[in-house]
Amino acid sequence: MLVDIIFSLVIGGTVGIIGHVRKHGKIIMPRKTKKFIYLGFLEEMLLGAVAALLLVLYTAPNSNVENIIISIVAGIFGDATLSGLKLLRQKSEEK
């Protein structure tokens, strides 16, 4: 089970980084401004990894192939969640 957990974290984080590069065209490093800490690619990597971990723990896959597929889907879902939150934030600022 520990191998499944580590495997899902790595795959989910990798999918998060790939989604970040697809969205921004490059890897944006974390930086600190006067009022805010911007996590850059770490934000999407962590969200993808945590989403993959939670889904793998919930479903308990029987094989490595199932673990890979579930982790990839969870990483994509984490990226979609960030995109949805950004869209909602933009719509609320327009009003």
Instruction: Specify the pTM.
Output: 0.76
Query: Where do the structural domains in the chain lie, given as residue ranges?
Result: 2-94
How would you write the pLDDT of the chain (95 residues) with one tens digit per residue? 788 888 888 988 888 888 888 888 888 888 888 888 888 888 888 888 888 888 888 888 888 888 888 888 887 877 777 778 888 888 877 76
Distances from the Cα of 1 to the Cαs of 7, 20, 65, 82, in angstroms? 10, 29, 14, 28
Q: Tell me the one-letter amino acid at 7.
A: F
